[in-house]
Structure 1
Amino acid sequence: MSQRETWATRVGFIIAAVGSAVGLGNVWQFPFQTGANGGAAFIVVYLAAVFVIGFPAMLAEFVIGRRAERNPIDAFARLGHRDWRVVGAIGTISAFWILSFYSVVGGWVIRYIVGSATGAYFSGSEAYFGAISAGPEAIGLHALFMALTVGVVAFGVTDGIERSTKLMVPSIVVLLGGLAIWAATLDGGGAGYAYYLSPDIDTLVANIGSILPAAVGQAFFTLSLGMGAMLTYASYLGRDDSLPADGATIVVLNTFVGLLAGLVVFPILFSLGIDPGSGGLGAAFITLAGAFAQLPAGRLLGVVFFVVLLLAALSSAISLLEVVTAYLVDNTDRSRSTLAVGLGAAIFVLGVPSAFGLSILAWYNAIAYNLLLPLSVFCLLIFVGWVDAADAVTELRRGTGLSEGGATAWLWFVRTVVPLGVLVTLLLGLQSLAVRAGLIAEAIV
């Protein structure tokens, strides 16, 4: 069995974890989810979900990962609870599943960098998206994106993941910040800020049933929870690092980047009179590409934006591939590079159907959001809160000045408030999936 790697520095772990969290979920999904769910009303629920549910759940993944020093499946066995390996398996399957369609979207991003430079979509952004989002070209770009992801993971934790994310994450923040400053100069952008930052309580109350699962699912997606990524990254962490401090840093930085993306997107859309809820899963590609086509220096702006999107996509994709790679690295004698290539090929094959049509990709996405992620997080919280509580509290306090009372408060949240919120989200998500299935059945009949 190969010698297990560790992070070279604590900062490397934090940046890699932020890179995992700061992905397409922030720049692609976040503005779309916000626009589709009432603007600032969604933001209120999302922020509550991040700090009340997401942060405690992230610490739950951290305490399991660091204490076990193993991948999500083997972690439970090493902690003496072999029957709970199914929880780790759900997280690992989630990572495998999400990366399969995430890579297809990553392929779109590569194509849009080229399309921005040439102005190829300027004459019709919707037609352009329809032409490149499905079919042979989409499959080829899906393969290219997976190859880039495999290339990073094959080099290992320190030389591949840590080194690449130390370059990617600061670049994302700098470029996105520059775009936000530029967006603030647009005429008519003030309406975008109002939509994004001024919540309508009536909208929130009237639509809480649809906003809640979307917001909690978005929190899981943007924090890389429920997919084994944070557990896996924590398994490479030193014993003396403060998990609460590192977790808080990751959550704050990730949330900052997500909000920063909104400060870019909404002023642009409102300055041009574009409906922020239009475009569906292709919103970043149809509506924003259409906006760049109408703006001065649109080609340059488009290239910068989609380069940001590509860096964000890769920083998350490598964490997802690392989850499944770590399992085989821990359990076989084969080289990391061989395992990464084989798994990358398998994930590519699983994702091919989602490259044939947006409706299929939307189903992949819905299964991840509404079923896999909340189910994985719920089961993990039950384990930490009720099965492994004493050891989890001890692990959380290791390397910190956290009082016993503070650790007990976290445990109380993990036992009650957080799983209850996740359970409600899971039930609403299952209802949403049932509605989707019913509509499809009616269409077929």
Structure 2
Amino acid sequence: MAKRETWATRVGFLVAAIGSAVGLGNLWQFPFKTAGNGGAAFVAFYLIAVLLIGFPAMLAEFVMGRRTHRNAVDAFSEIGHRQWRILGAFAVVTGFWILSYYNVVGGWVLRYIVGSAQGAYFGAPAEYFGAVSAGPEAIAAQFVFLAIVVGIVALGIEDGIEKATKVMVPSIAVLLVFLAVWAFTLDGAGAGYAYFLTPSLDAMVENAGTAIPFAVGQAFFTLSLGMAIMITYSSYLGDDDNLLVDGGTVVVFNTLIGILAGLVVFPILFANNIDPGLGGGASALFIAVASGFGSLPLGNLIGVVFFGVVALAALSSAISLMEVTVAWANDNFDVPRPQLAIGIGVGLFVLGLPSAWDVALLTWFDNIAYSLLLPLSVLMLVLFVGWILAGDAVAELRQGAGELGTFGPIWMWALRLTVPALVFATLALGIQTLFLGESPAFFAPF
């Protein structure tokens, strides 16, 4: 069996974890979940959800990973709970399922970088999206995006993931700041900022019924929870790292990236008189925002930069999703990492073919993930850590935490009561909407 790798530096882990969290959820879902659920009211609900649910759940995954130094499945055996390995397996399958269609969307982003340079979609953005989002062209783009992901993961933790994310994550931040400064100069910037950043109590009350469940789902989706990513990444950590500080760092940077994305997207929409509630999913990024570039100064350049940022974010998340499965295989089979990455990549490509062929099938894949798999995975893990691992989990959290270790008992009761209650409510709503056909899916409606 191959020797298990570790992060070369703590900064490497933090950048990789932030890169995993900063994905399409921040640059696509966050602005348009905001638009469809009361504007700044949704932002307020989201920030509360991150604090009450996302942060405690992330610490639960960190504790599982670092305590065992194993992949998400074998971690349960390592701490004497082999019968619970199904929880880890469920999280791994969830991540694999999501990555199968995430690669397809990543392929779309690559096409839009080229399309921006050529101005190909400026005249008819809806028609352009329809042409590149499904069929042979989408399959080819999916293959290219997946090949990049496989190549990075095949190089390993230090030489592949760590080095790649150390370039990607700072680039995302710098380019987003550039875009936000540019967006500030647009005529509609003030109205966009007001819509995005000025919460109204009336709007919060009016939108609470739909905004709160979406905000909870957004919290654990954008923080890469429920997919075994943070268990896997933290399993490569040293025993003296401060998990509380690390988790807080990831949460803060992830939230700032989401806010920055909103500071770019809403000025573009208001500058072009585009309704911010036009729709989520594909129409949001690939039609609504893209349609604005054609009428703006330097639209080609801005389009290339914008979709370049989205591509970097998509790649940083995709490599973390793939590493979950590769880590499990690497811990259990005496096969070189490059071969494992290629083999798993083939499986992902095949599972992603239906999503690449038909956008409706991609929507179905995402409905299952967003409404069922993710909340169920998060719920089972926090219940396990809160009620079964319990005292050992608190001891692990305190290790390396210094004075912050006093937060341990509060965190434990949050895992036992507050987090499960809120996630269960989200799961119940997701199941209801899934069977009623009113999906809160990440990419719907098209």
Report the TM-score range of the alignment, normalised by the length of the smaller protein: over 0.9
C-alpha displacement of 1:404: 5.6
Deviates more, 1:194-203 or 1:301-310: 194-203
| Alignment partners' CA distance in 1, 2:3 and 2:356 | 37
CA contact (8 A) 2:397 2:405 kept: no
More deviation, 396-405/102-111: 396-405
User: Aligned AA for 1:326?
Assistant: A
Does residue 57 (structure 1) correspond to residue 31 (structure 2)? The answer is: no
Deviation at 1:21, TM superposition (A): 0.3
The separation in 1 between residues aligned to 2:97 and 2:428, in whole angstroms, is: 21
2:24 equivalent in structure 1: 24
Are positions 1:196 and 2:216 aligned together?
Answer: no
**Alpha-carbon separation, structure 1, partners of 2:353 and 2:38:** 33
- The number of equivalent residue pairs is 438
> Which amino acid in 2 is paired with 1:296?
P
Distance 1:277 1:365 in 2: 21
Question: Displacement, 1:207?
Answer: 2.9
Q: Determine the structure 2 residue equivalent to 1:421.
A: 422
Counterpart of 1:334 in structure 2 is 335
How much does 1:411 deviate? 0.7
- 1:361 deviation in Å? 1.7
- Structure 2: gaps (5+ residues): 440-446
Which letter maps to 1:345?
V
What residue identity is the alignment partner of 2:419? V
Per-residue deviation at 1:403? 5.5
Residue 308, structure 1, aligned to residue 315, structure 2: no
User: What residue number does 1:443 align with?
Assistant: none
2:375 counterpart residue number: 374
Partner of 1:388: 389
State yes or no: 1:255 paired with 2:255. Answer: yes
Tell whether the 8 Å contact from 1:110 to 1:310 is kept in structure 2 after alignment: yes
The answer for the alignment partner of 1:297 in structure 2 is 298
Partner SS state of residue 48, structure 1 = helix
Q: Which amino acid aligns with 2:417?
A: T
C-alpha distance after superposition, 1:372-421 (max 9, x if no partner): 11111110011110000011000000012135642111111111111111
Residue pair 1:386, 1:415 contacting (<8 A) in 2 also: yes
Cα deviation, residue 437, structure 1 = 7.7
Alpha-carbon distance, 1:205 to partner = 2.2
Per-residue CA deviations over 1:344-382 (Å, capped at 9, x if unaligned) read: 111111111111233222222222111111111110011
Q: More displaced, 399-408 or 348-357?
A: 399-408
Q: CA RMSD in A?
A: 1.2
Task: Provide the secondary structure at the position in 2 that maps to 1:278.
Answer: coil
Matched letter for residue 148 of structure 1: I
1:245 alignment partner AA:
V
- One-letter amino acid matched to 1:359: A
Mapped partners of 1:56, 1:101: distance in 2: 28
Give the aligned partner of residue 123 of structure 2.
123
Instruction: Map Cα deviations across residues 50-76 of structure 1 (whole Å, 9 max, x no partner).
Output: 111000000000000000111111101
Displacement of 1:39: 1.4
Residues 218 and 369 of structure 1 are in contact (CA less than 8 Å); yes or no, is this contact kept in structure 2? no
Kept in 1, the 8 Å contact 2:244–2:404? The answer is no
Percent of residue pairs bearing the same amino acid type: 61
Which residues in structure 2 correspond to 1:30-429 (within 5 Å)? 30-282=30-282, 283-402=284-403, 405-429=406-430
Contact 2:36/2:279 (<8 A) preserved: no
**Would the aligned equivalents of 2:7 and 2:236 in 1 still touch at CA under 8 Å?**
yes
Task: Evaluate the alpha carbon distance shift between residue 402 and residue 93 of structure 1 in structure 2; reply closer, same or farther with a 3 A threshold.
Answer: farther
Q: Distance in 2 between matches of 1:125 and 1:437?
A: 26
Cα distance in 2 for partners of 1:394, 1:428 equals 35
Equivalent residues of 1:104, 1:138 under 8 A apart: yes
CA distance in 1, matches of 2:285, 2:251: 24
Which blocks of at least 5 consecutive residues in structure 1 are unaligned?
439-445
Q: Deviations over 1:107-152 (max 9, x none)?
A: 0000000000011111111111111111110011011111110000
**Contact 1:281/1:362, CA 8 A, preserved across alignment:** no
Structure 1 range deviating more: 199-208 or 305-314:
199-208
Paired position in structure 2 for 1:442: none
User: Aligned equivalents of 1:173 and 1:10: distance in 2?
Assistant: 19
Whole-Å Cα distance in 1 between the matches of residues 324 and 425 of structure 2? Answer: 27
Which deviates further from its counterpart, 277-286 or 295-304? 277-286
Which amino acid is 2:209 matched to? G
CA distance in 1, matches of 2:166, 2:337: 21
Contact map agreement 1:279 1:286 (CA 8 A) in 2: no
Q: How far apart, in 2, do the equivalents of 1:292 and 1:14 lie? A: 34
In structure 1, distance between residues paired with 2:155 and 2:64: 25
Cα distance in structure 2, aligned partners of 1:71 and 1:146:
22
1:279 is displaced (CA, Å) by 4.2
Any conservation in 2 of the 1:213–1:370 contact (CA below 8 Å)? Answer: no
Task: Determine the C-alpha separation between the residues in 2 that align with 1:354 and 1:204.
Answer: 35
- Paired residues of 1:20 and 1:317 also in contact (CA < 8 A): yes
Deviations 1:231-272 (A, max 9, x none): 100000000010000110110001000110000000110111
